[in-house]
Chains A and B, each alone.
Chain A
């Protein structure tokens, strides 16, 4: 290993991290050992998603994959302080001297803070690192907690992308943000005057005050608060000031060793990202490629890839496409996109604008002087056309330019794009690659394409185009439930809800064909039950119920059933436990504690079910709906009643929620959990809806599940009171029930929802569709009409009649059912053809005893 060379990477941000992982991936012979010098003491994290830290994402979730590798020496909190280019040596803050064969500067950028008096006062912050956000959170919490009238406020200096993110963070932290931007419009780098005007209107509508065309002249302290004086002599009171007015390349180290820097800062590099010193490279925000710096992560990643290739003897260079500054984002619920020559800087460029102030949309495309070639564009309010327009930059226009952006104009699909066009610019996936994935790799769905090509996995803006491509290539799967209905479950729900049809027969005669099957009947049964249609075994409904709903218990592999009484929140009295134990003993049932904090009793024959239920119901239990596509359990930790750390009564909340939503039929099962503090012992974030207590109230997370594809639930509202929490869950559940596909759980439903979590929040918190009153009413009706399904059977002789083994011999047990004893309890006897048990290292002793 004497010929191993030493690479020193200065900086452990996203781009430095990408370089190290790219080099380690490709350097199969171990040519390079790598030392990384990081200024922050934290592991590398996703700085692009920094603002989500305020939404409740943790540092761990933001962290990039850890580089554990014998050839990588990661030194955190030990920044480089000097570079001796002649001796090829870097000296660090701790005094270490490292000799390098190659040195890569990935020092990133520093926030630009205008040199105004008072900029360093307490409660003045920048918005760049997790440490900055921790400090901001703390100051905001202190401000909010301070007694006195009026809402606490923050001045955000800078109205660009970062400034608007900071403003949103301030709002989330409970402050009133006021944005001050020196340019005449918001997001001046991305949008033009017309787009900026609309953007301002949309942002102001969300309680964010905006002042453009003014600068901050100074900041002073006054009566424990700050006062910002603006260039128009307006004075703004504030509890916090956040500077987010842009960034400057962090090139101090380069300057100190006389590396050449650009006129506007940044270490000058060539197309291979090499400085004029052949042993030193620069990548990311600190590099000035042909004199220009790039403040986005995608060009930084491309530079890291180029350098990794070069270090291994390759000849890669940066291509103009990799320096694409196109962006699409959703800020404060407002979509903004900008691509190509957005400001029509090309000579002779023509601008085509469609401005619809009523709909709140602004679209502009920039075309060449002969109106033949697309050069760029700006979209505000509705950026859905971004995914088709951006790949067309530089290509011949496929249609009349006005029609391409006008509402009701030409609908552009992937079919107009050449195979070389990049559909996913984040991961550089071309149309040709996606076509290959569909035809050669057999991808059939958007998740297939994501897994196979990485397209759509970063910003997600190309997902609509992926869907269109699947249709164009002829593989989009029909949403029809089965051969009897051409409708999806959501469409059937709408039909049933709006027509008042309440029987399957009427529905299939008017809107379908044939007599249904095991796909459509349970789906219709669920829709009817969600709309409140009495006992699920009433009349014809009984014939629609799936296996488990058919006998209100869970069928096991030998045709017996398991019985699960409801134990709300997992809270049970000793008397209750004794009754369950006695019932299990008397009926010879196998017992097991479930993952949802209740008790499952296995091995009941169909004719035993009513007697078992009667014993349980008489003791105050009811059906736990373990058999239904409905609410299962609300799991809880013990919470503030007992726990030394609990901040709220999580058991009480879990009981309340379980009793509210019990029996609610839904497209798939629903699980929930309530944790009494941030330690999250109830694992609420692995649930369809999870609640976590905070000092101030409750956080609600939605769309999680365990199972084969685990998903963490996402934060939808924060620090809300009980009333708001319940109202939000009510609406979430009802909206899901109305719009999800058959057997689609909340996580894939949310993933497939156009606009995702933001859209969901708009619908159920801001009532953007005007349906919340309906949703609320539907849930009220459910709560008011809930009845125990077991009791419903016990009290109706007609329904009880079904619970026999044989219609001509009601008391004789099914002779095919037999049990053996295992670990002291009965389990189904093996049948011929059952897989042989696998022995794990120990011989099986003892004998299995067959019972009849």
Chain B
């Protein structure tokens, strides 16, 4: 997670990360995700109403369809979430766990804002 006011993000300490640019910040409408492709890795990137950025794996684990970026962004008990557009399970944007099916989760990617660009940390 990071914020759009360019505070240094915690994840940058991980020196093994390779940062790739997804898009300019203004391309991200609050609460409406986009998908990005890095090699064969698909990432769903979200910007919340409060301005935080999050990135999850784009593949919905139940259907196998790469569509999480097209889900509705909201919150559950204050925790930011995206609901899969296929069968509507909610996933935490913070840690990628499925809030409706114990034991199921999607990968979480570090994300930062760099010179107005949204960048994803890949290993």
Give the interface of A toward B (CB within 8 A). Answer: 483-484, 505, 514-518, 520-522, 540, 542-547, 550-551, 555, 557-559, 801, 805-809, 812, 814-817, 831-833
Q: CB within 8 A of A808: which of B21, B40, B65, B74?
A: B21
CB within 8 Å of A: which B72-103 residues: 72-78, 80-81, 83, 85-86, 88, 90
**CB <8 Å contact, B49 and A806:** no
**CB <8 Å contact, B77 and A483:** yes
**CB <8 Å contact, A808 and B29:** no
A543 to B49, CA, bound (A): 11
Q: CB within 8 A of B90: which of A505, A518, A540?
A: A518
A685 to B60, CA, bound (A): 39
A628 to B115, CA, bound (A): 39
**CB <8 Å contact, A808 and B42:** no
**CB <8 Å contact, A542 and B85:** no
A550 to B34, CA, bound (A): 12
B113 interface residue (CB < 8 Å to A): no
**CB <8 Å contact, A543 and B75:** no
**CB <8 Å contact, A543 and B66:** no
3 tightest CB-CB pairs across the interface, nearest first? A559-B65, A518-B83, A547-B85
Q: CB within 8 A of B49: which of A505, A520, A808, A814?
A: A505
Taking the closest CB of chain B, its distance from the CB of A430, in whole angstroms, is 40
Interface size of B as a range? 35 or more
Number of A-B contacts (CB under 8 A): 110
Q: CB within 8 A of A805: which of B37, B38, B49?
A: B37
Tell me which residues across on chain A come within 8 A of B76, comparing CB atoms.
Answer: 483, 517
**CB <8 Å contact, A517 and B35:** no
Residue of B nearest to A559 (CB): B65
Tell me which residues across on chain A come within 8 A of B65, comparing CB atoms.
Answer: 557-559, 816
Tell me which residues across on chain B come within 8 A of A806, comparing CB atoms.
Answer: 34-37, 42
B106 interface residue (CB < 8 Å to A): no
**8 CB < 8 A contacts A-B:** A515-B48, A517-B75, A542-B32, A551-B70, A806-B36, A809-B36, A814-B66, A816-B42
A311 to B27, CA, bound (A): 82
A776 to B114, CA, bound (A): 54
Taking the closest CB of chain A, its distance from the CB of B26, in whole angstroms, is 11
Q: CB within 8 A of A514: which of B34, B38, B45, B78?
A: B78
Q: CB within 8 A of B67: which of A515, A555, A807, A832?
A: A555
Give the interface of B toward A (CB within 8 A). Answer: 20-23, 27, 29-32, 34-38, 40, 42, 45, 48-49, 59, 63-67, 70-78, 80-81, 83, 85-86, 88, 90
A514 to B90, CA, bound (A): 15
Taking the closest CB of chain B, its distance from the CB of A561, in whole angstroms, is 10
Known: A515-B31, A518-B90, A806-B35. A543 touches B64 (CB 8 A): no
Taking the closest CB of chain A, its distance from the CB of B100, in whole angstroms, is 11
**CB <8 Å contact, A515 and B80:** yes
Taking the closest CB of chain B, its distance from the CB of A540, in whole angstroms, is 8
Q: CB within 8 A of A807: which of B27, B40, B74, B90?
A: B27
Residue of A nearest to B69 (CB): A807
Tell me which residues across on chain A come within 8 A of B74, comparing CB atoms.
Answer: 484, 514-518, 520-521
A817 to B42, CA, bound (A): 13
A483 to B83, CA, bound (A): 15
Residue of A nearest to B60 (CB): A559
Taking the closest CB of chain A, its distance from the CB of B47, in whole angstroms, is 10
Tell me which residues across on chain B come within 8 A of A520, comparing CB atoms.
Answer: 74
A555 to B65, CA, bound (A): 10
Tell me which residues across on chain B come within 8 A of A831, comparing CB atoms.
Answer: 64
**CB <8 Å contact, A547 and B86:** yes
**CB <8 Å contact, B37 and A809:** yes
Tell me which residues across on chain A come within 8 A of B45, comparing CB atoms.
Answer: 807
